[in-house]
Structure 1
Amino acid sequence: MLDEKTIEELHSYYDRLPGGICLVKADDSEEILLANAELLNYYQCANWQEFKELTRGTYRGMVEASDYIPLKDIVRVKGQPEANYAYFQFPYRTREGHFNKGNALLIRTTQKGLGDIWSINVMKSKYSRAPGETENITGLLGGTAFYKRVNEHIQMEKIDGIGGLYCSVYFNLTNFKLYNSNYGIEQGDELLRKVADVLRAHFPYSIIAHLNADNFALVAPRDGVIEQVEAVCREVDEMIDNFSITLKAGVFFRDPDNPSEYTANSAFDMAKIACDSIKGDASRSWATYTETMGKNLAARAYVLENFDRALRNGYIKIFYQPVVRTLTGKLCGMEALARWEDPERGRLTPDMFVPVLEDAKLIYKLDSYVVEQVGKRLHTMEDSGMPVLPISVNLSSADFDQVDPLDVVERVVRKYRLPRSYIRIEITESALVKDGKKLQREIDRFRKAGYQCWMDDFGSGYSSFNVLQNFHFDELKIDMAFLRNFNDQSRKIIKSIVLMAKSLGVHTLAEGAETQEQVDFLRSVGCEKIQGYFYGRPMKYDDLRVHCRDKNLREETRQEEFAYDKLGLINVLTGAPVALCAVNDKSMRILYENDAYKKVLEDVSVSDLR
């Protein structure tokens, strides 16, 4: 924390310089030490306190969450590492909610009294023009001239009493950086010119702008606008012919009865929010703004502003859901799941905060926290002499971009002196499609280190069976959607997955079982484990112990786990169904008519099944 005298001296210097200037700690915290008066003006903040509240006092908070890259990585990727500087662009949102983009020079330096810092010098856009001038790449209006024209248009509507006849449309070329990387800057500029031509052709009488590198905007008559927007997106996508680089659109319809409620800037902010809502949805090219989107944005902001506080204060709780082995009806493991119990908003469900943290590249903090808490729980179970059951933890694909998850888990294992077999690693199927080669290497590292790796939500994607050709998993967690729609077709699919997994030497677990009928079916086809409300919802550990005692769910031993894992890979459909019963107090025996079990049991002693 800087003292007041140092802050005053820094402001006396930096406030006189042109452009916005920000000083940031050159460590992982990226704490903002100083923002000059011009930068506060850029963010529409009246003072330092407002700016600190808006950004949460870090560089991460200065940038649109989906575009955040750590400053050290910006230099590594875009700059001169040996010189510690780089030119880059970053999108940001002002205190009044407007979206802007800044061009900046990033420099790493050392200052007396401050230590190692980043100096971010924000400059005006190189494409800015005086009002009325066109933008020099596409020939379209630039942002300043565009918003001036649109505000004049809104005022004329108000005077003429014909408000609401026009709407705001915002376009974004998703992954345009990838296009530039693949084809070069010149080809990227040529693409922007072609997009501008397509917009002119479909909206010949509209006010159109190229706002910045990958964003366009226009005001168009509301009648038939959706059909025109669809046609533009389709034509541009066909022209690019790359499914990962597409044109998305957001449309905002102003209230005809109150047309002047929004300024040009705020109307296009709404259109941008609608556009951003479908960036990750390959099935949609456009969306219209709804109040729900605005609420979702507010909820997102709350999560980002309060997440670190929630971790510090213990608002993030670890819940455990039981996993039961079908052969025995015994408890054979648990899944650790995060729940946010907020003092202001009550319980936040995972779908309210996990996607936000993934987009903001903060999910590694949550997953690291869960691993730490699971390690502590396992250590407590061991020390107290309670039966120790393996616990599975979820890792996001985004974790591998921010930290080394194997190192995170290994540090916890060493800290609490745990066998690696106590922790199971779950990775969702959808994550494997995004960066398959990298995740393949990381999964192999985990398995070589002695951890079981499970594929979560198997069957939820379009390439489930193809994924198994390239990735080596110890267990498949069959997506709960198959049991949610429990019919003849889903039964056939589940049966085929179980048989395929056994042929590959991969274990199976079905999620989402809620009824006796579903449990009986899963047992009959040889699915080894079940997780679902039939056996228990996610709950706090102490509540889980009481629940399992009341339901007579006994924990299986490590010896039983070893034996039943062997038995679980047998195809039970080639013989009669298996039944299991307690013969006496000293042992358990399997009653079977399947020769395959006999062969396995020759190597499994009675004591292994106790």
Structure 2
Amino acid sequence: MTDKENKRGIAIAQGLDCMPGGVVISRETGELLYVNPYMVAFYDCASEEELREYLADNMYTMVRPEDRESLRQRLQKEEKGRELYYRMRYTVVTKKGRIRHVDAVDRLVVTPEGERLHYGFSLPMSETGVEQDAMTGTRRFLSYASQFLEMYQEGMAMPALNLIFFNVERFKLYNIKYGIEAGNQLIARCAAVLQQVFANDFVFCIADDRFAILTDALRVRDRVQEVREILRQEYSDRVVAFHFGGYRIMDPREDLHQALDRARMACESIRGRLDTYFYEWTDLMAGRMAIRSYVVGHIDEAVQKGWIRPYYQPVVRLDTLEPVGFEALARWIDPERGLLMPADFIGSLEDSQQIDKLDRHMIASVCREYRQRVEAGKPVYPVSINLSRLDFFLCDAYEVLEENTLKYGVPRNMLQVEITESLLLDQGLRMTEEMERLRRAGYQVWMDDFGSGYSSLNTLKTHDFDVVKLDRMFLEPFTVKAQKILAAVLAMNHALGIRTLGEGLETEEELDFFRREHCELAQGYLLGRPQPYDESLAECSRKCQALLGKEKDKKEMAAGLEKPV
């Protein structure tokens, strides 16, 4: 070896010793040729000699016994090539007995003599004393993924990559039905299946029921389908659904925070859908993301300047077809972006934990308008207000109601609080106590979206409601079978002494059914759209009068047909 070659070898060795992550060089037989100091410390050893003794000087003993044969087979199948590499995650047990997780990249090098050598590089931990773990959250995922992409910022050709966001939809309902331990087993099984199918890729559980996967774009849809089919077969009761969102990464300098947000948004865009399970980000979704950012940054200004105001959708008494109340629904009338609907801002405010600002403002606005109408001598009706699950954490919803009813002199029986079934399932005992507190004070508590979840009957059994609102899903499609189910639900509520409200009525056929089955209340576009108070009341009154006129004409026609000729 020449002096130049010797110096070059020393420089390379010193560089590898100083690498911030782990470096392992081995023969395909497993014999260790080199390990850097990082790996010595990672395995809780005091020296390289101690590490080699602990591992029997073999690369394959670095992983758990159950993973060794799989690792051996995968490395033997690895192919040579400048752009080819093998990403892997494995679990190790250190000399002190600690279980640690390693994310690594392996590259095959074939010597001039034909010997296959494996160069393994593991990503370093970004915080001192924090374990490497497959289930460590969004921050850890972004840290690891960023380090991986940095490899391609030095001129190395980067393959097309896909960032996948995976969500176990209705996971909390699964916990309610089967218990917390069963839920934990479900998440563990999801992790195992994802790591099995995306064996060469980075798979992270970023929060409870959500995972992120960084993978090459080849066969993404096939592998997503494989994961879904395995999980659907094992969890066939359909309580949970398995949805994926994807985002294509083409530039190693791309902002991974934004990439993950886009994959998440693609996944959320199919929430609740049964006809699809995978959706990839498109440029058309960029507009929605811009609105999302705008809402988060302007909610304070919108509240202060009155851009958000209540629109009132009428509630009609069905036996007399007359308006008896309203539901207050938020509308954001923006000077730059025009009319924003709840779908444009509710989710963004919940995600940024600012939804209480909206709901505080809505409660205050409804109470203020009540006082203004009373002082102007205008008719007033009870109004129902929707509360988010976060309202009971970000503020004291009860105290907000009390503060505004006192300030504006609103009788408590003029406000009704709508609570969704999912809120009750999420919060359990706490929500039971909050409901009792509201009802004791004199507020009515309504159950919204009955039938949209999986524990509606149990919710009725364990909680007291003044009104149950039947979800629009019962009417889509409005078949004979759907009508029989609705009739049974209405009969049950009658027996329990609970009034029922049919939501989303759009046709006279639906109206006739609910009236025939003695449903007490209804709302929907057939009876009136959400509008400012006076416009809503006027439209509803007109529509109800027109429906009563048609009913009268039908009765007179039927009576005429019955007369003898």
Same fold (TM over 0.5): yes
Aligned residue for 2:488, secondary structure, equals helix
Asked if the contact 2:527/2:544 (under 8 Å) is kept, the reply is: no
Which position in structure 1 is the counterpart of 2:451? Answer: 459
Task: Output the amino acid matched with 2:254.
Answer: N
**CA distance in structure 2 between the aligned counterparts of 1:521 and 1:543, rounded to whole angstroms:** 27
**Change in CA separation of 1:472 and 1:238 when aligned onto 2, cut-off 3 Å:** same
The partner residue of 1:147 within 136, 149, 157 is 149
With the length of structure 2 as denominator, give the TM-score of the two structures: 0.61
The question of 1:134 aligning with 2:123 is answered yes
Say what the alpha-carbon RMSD is for the aligned residues.
4.4
Q: How does 1:557-596 map onto structure 2 within 5 Å?
A: none
Structure whose CA Rg is larger: 2
Which position in structure 2 is the counterpart of 1:442? Answer: 434
Asked if the contact 2:368/2:408 (under 8 Å) is kept, the reply is: yes
**Change in CA separation of 1:149 and 1:404 when aligned onto 2, cut-off 3 Å:** same
Aligned residue for 2:386, secondary structure, equals strand
Q: Deviation of residue 240 (structure 1)? A: 13
1:166-200: per-residue Cα shift (whole Å, max 9, x none)?
3323456889xx99xx99xxx99xx79x96x8777
**CA distance in structure 2 between the aligned counterparts of 1:466 and 1:212, rounded to whole angstroms:** 31
Which position in structure 2 is the counterpart of 1:225? Answer: 220
The question of 1:519 aligning with 2:520 is answered no
Asked if the contact 1:170/1:272 (under 8 Å) is kept, the reply is: no
1:139-188: per-residue Cα shift (whole Å, max 9, x none)?
999445411224458x526xxxxxxx63323456889xx99xx99xxx99
Which position in structure 1 is the counterpart of 2:284? Answer: 292
Q: How does 1:78-157 map onto structure 2 within 5 Å?
A: 133-135=122-124, 137=132, 142-151=144-153, 155-156=156-157
Asked if the contact 1:143/1:211 (under 8 Å) is kept, the reply is: no
**CA distance in structure 1 between the aligned counterparts of 2:297 and 2:380, rounded to whole angstroms:** 37
Asked if the contact 2:323/2:537 (under 8 Å) is kept, the reply is: no
The partner residue of 1:278 within 267, 276, 286 is 267
Which position in structure 1 is the counterpart of 2:110? Answer: none
Q: How does 1:14-413 map onto structure 2 within 5 Å?
A: 133-135=122-124, 137=132, 142-151=144-153, 155-156=156-157, 166-170=160-164, 202-203=197-198, 206=200, 208=202, 217-220=213-216, 222=218, 224-231=219-226, 250-253=245-248, 262-266=251-255, 269-270=258-259, 272-275=261-264, 277-278=266-267, 281=271, 287-413=279-405
Q: Deviation of residue 491 (structure 1)? A: 1.6
Aligned residue for 1:156, secondary structure, equals coil
* Unpaired runs of at least 5, structure 1: 1-126, 158-164, 255-259, 555-577, 580-610
The partner residue of 1:417 within 394, 409, 430 is 409
**CA distance in structure 1 between the aligned counterparts of 2:369 and 2:412, rounded to whole angstroms:** 14
Name whichever of 267-276 and 229-238 sits farther off.
Answer: 229-238
**CA distance in structure 2 between the aligned counterparts of 1:335 and 1:435, rounded to whole angstroms:** 24
Asked if the contact 1:250/1:271 (under 8 Å) is kept, the reply is: no
Task: Output the amino acid matched with 1:166.
Answer: A
Aligned residue for 2:316, secondary structure, equals strand
Aligned residue for 2:267, secondary structure, equals coil
Count how many residue pairs are aligned between Structure 1 and Structure 2: 405
Which position in structure 1 is the counterpart of 2:563? Answer: none
1:350-389: per-residue Cα shift (whole Å, max 9, x none)?
1111122122222211111111111112222333333332
Q: Deviation of residue 245 (structure 1)? A: 11
* Unpaired runs of at least 5, structure 2: 1-101, 105-119, 126-131, 135-140, 553-565
Aligned residue for 1:455, secondary structure, equals strand
**CA distance in structure 2 between the aligned counterparts of 1:533 and 1:236, rounded to whole angstroms:** 40
Asked if the contact 1:142/1:209 (under 8 Å) is kept, the reply is: no
**Change in CA separation of 1:438 and 1:293 when aligned onto 2, cut-off 3 Å:** farther
Identity of aligned residues (%): 33
**CA distance in structure 2 between the aligned counterparts of 1:199 and 1:464, rounded to whole angstroms:** 32
With the length of structure 1 as denominator, give the TM-score of the two structures: 0.57
The question of 1:476 aligning with 2:477 is answered no
**CA distance in structure 2 between the aligned counterparts of 1:232 and 1:356, rounded to whole angstroms:** 29
Which position in structure 2 is the counterpart of 1:528? Answer: 520
